[in-house]
């Protein structure tokens, strides 16, 4: 059995100052330099949920969603983030289509959701919580 003290998630970026700017200023999240481990950032989502962001010179963006944010209203959040320069991903697959704003409207198959990239190509989403 695995015995551990704590757990945390992490993801890579190619430029820590740029990540600090995007996550801290554009998205308005709590991000700070890790005091115990130099050259790392902590993205603190709440008191217990901290995600480590680390630099990787040969960074390759994740091909899946690395971080999901539940919101009360996806339409309003898309509008707010778009004003801040965030560009939402438009999917135009036969079985998977977003609208012109990048919103996949919820139905019996799933929630209303929209995806966007951070400056490093990692995929994030906002999901409407009923």
4-48 per-position pLDDT tens digit: 787 889 999 999 999 999 999 999 999 999 998 889 999 999 888
Q: Predicted confidence band at 114 (pLDDT cuts at 50, 70, 90)?
A: very high
Whole-structure pTM value: 0.90
| Percent above pLDDT 70 for the chain | 100
CATH topology assigned to domain 9-55? 2,3-Dihydroxybiphenyl 1,2-Dioxygenase; domain 1 (3.10.180)
Half-sphere exposure of residue 48: CA atoms within 13 angstroms, side-chain side? 2
Token pair in block for residue 58: 């040969």
Note whether 59 and 120 are within 8 A (CB).
yes
In CATH, 65-128 is 3.40.50.300: no
The side-by-side arrangement of strands in the sheet containing 65-71 is 65-71, 123-128, 113-117, 103-104
Q: Predicted confidence band at 1 (pLDDT cuts at 50, 70, 90)?
A: confident
Half-sphere exposure of residue 87: CA atoms within 13 angstroms, side-chain side? 7
Note whether 21 and 63 are within 8 A (CB).
no
Token pair in block for residue 110: 């799933």
Predicted confidence at residue 4, as pLDDT, reads 77
| Percent above pLDDT 90 for the chain | 76
Transcribe 10-29 into DSSP letters: EEEES-HHHHHIIIIIIS--
Nearest CA among 23, 43, 30 for reference residue 118: 23
Q: Predicted confidence band at 2 (pLDDT cuts at 50, 70, 90)?
A: confident
The chain-wide mean pLDDT, for the chain, equals 92
Mean pLDDT of 55-68: 94
Note whether 33 and 55 are within 8 A (CB).
no
Nearest CA among 83, 126, 119, 84 for reference residue 104: 126
For the chain, give every domain's residue range.
Answer: 9-55, 65-128
Please check the confidence at residue 110 and state whether its pLDDT lies above 90: no
């Amino acid at each position: 059995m695995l015995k551990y003290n704590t757990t945390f998630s992490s993801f890579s970026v190619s430029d820590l100052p740029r990540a600090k700017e995007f996550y801290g200023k554009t998205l308005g999240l709590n991000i700070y330099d890790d005091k115990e481990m130099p050259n790392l950032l902590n993205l603190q989502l709440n008191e217990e949920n901290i995600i480590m962001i680390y630099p990787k010179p040969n960074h390759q963006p994740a091909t899946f969603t690395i971080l999901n944010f539940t919101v009360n209203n996806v339409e309003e959040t898309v509008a707010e983030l778009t004003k801040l320069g965030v560009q939402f991903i438009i999917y135009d697959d036969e079985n998977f289509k977003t609208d012109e704003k990048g919103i996949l409207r919820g139905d019996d198959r799933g929630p209303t959701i929209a995806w966007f990239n951070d400056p490093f190509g990692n995929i994030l989403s906002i999901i409407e919580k009923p």
